[in-house]
């Protein structure tokens, strides 16, 4: 049995909605670091923190789906951790996916989740998600985007 852990986070700065987005993830396999990614999207009216959170989670899931296929891994568990109550509760099926810019990404994530045999979502406090938080802000910081809410 292979155990995967995903940590994800997203940010929209200096305003939400409509700011610049940064998002990122980390993936661990049996407790060992496997992959990380950080992404940036230019200012757009449809950018929000929730969109960034979902995009981070999706990028991790895209990577892991390809990795599991290429490595021919048949017996695995995936635990997804994030500090976005919205993403976690919606992917657990506790909260409905309503309207908003995030909706299309929530539905894509839900569809992607169905491709995995065992996947669980768990909310963690921001303090336990520091590495993913850093990944989400890396691209923003490198472009000099103001750190309005993260100080």
- Per-residue pLDDT tens for 72-124? 999 999 999 999 999 999 999 999 999 999 999 999 999 999 999 999 999 99
The whole-angstrom separation of Cα 11 and Cα 56 is 10
Structural domains of the chain, with CATH: 2-142 (3.30.420.10)
| pTM for this prediction | 0.95
CA geometry: angle 43, 49, 52, nearest 5 deg: 75
Distance, CA of 15 to chain centre: 20
pLDDT of residue 150: 44
Q: What is the tens place of the pLDDT at every residue in 16-61?
A: 999 999 999 999 999 999 999 999 999 999 999 999 999 999 999 9
pLDDT of residue 43: 97
Residue 66 neighbours by CB distance under 10 Å: 10
The mean pLDDT value of the chain amounts to 95
Q: How far apart are the first and last CA of the chain?
A: 40
């Amino acid at each position: 049995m292979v155990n995967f852990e995903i940590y994800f986070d997203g940010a929209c700065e200096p305003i939400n909605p409509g700011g610049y987005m940064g998002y990122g993830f980390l993936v661990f396999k049996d407790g060992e670091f496997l992959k990380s990614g950080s992404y940036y999207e230019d200012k757009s009216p449809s950018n929000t923190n929730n969109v960034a959170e979902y995009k981070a989670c999706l990028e991790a899931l895209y990577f892991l789906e390809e990795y599991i296929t290429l490595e021919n891994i048949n017996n695995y568990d995936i635990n997804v951790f994030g500090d976005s109550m919205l993403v976690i509760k919606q992917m657990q099926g506790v909260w409905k996916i309503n309207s908003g810019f995030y909706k299309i990404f929530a539905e894509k994530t839900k569809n992607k989740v169905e491709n995995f045999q065992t996947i669980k979502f768990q909310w963690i406090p921001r303090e336990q998600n520091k590495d993913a938080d850093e990944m989400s802000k890396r691209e923003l910081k490198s472009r000099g985007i103001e750190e309005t809410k993260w100080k």
